[in-house]
Amino acid sequence: MNNRIRTSLDEVQLIGKLADLKEDHYRSSLILTALIDVLIDKGLVTSQELQARIDKLDNSFSPYPAPPIS
């Protein structure tokens, strides 16, 4: 029974860690989106330039194509 309790506690801890990762991912995505918006608004980069760079990087990391930015 002790092993079963430990397994349940491990699962709860894992769920907590996943929730923390989800929050971190959300915050990182929010910051990145805001930064991209500022760069585009200031005319420092265009959506097309950004998409071209994404495609280049994605092709160097993976055989799968990146979805387009809207």
pLDDT recorded at residue 65: 61
pLDDT recorded at residue 53: 93
Mark the ranges of the chain whose per-residue pLDDT is less than 50: none
pLDDT recorded at residue 58: 84
Q: How far is CA 18 from the centre of its chain?
A: 14
Residue pair 55/66 in contact (Cβ under 8 Å)? The answer is yes
pLDDT recorded at residue 61: 80
pLDDT recorded at residue 64: 65
* pTM of the full structure: 0.62
pLDDT recorded at residue 6: 75
Residue ranges in 1-70 assigned as alpha helix (H) = 2-41, 47-61
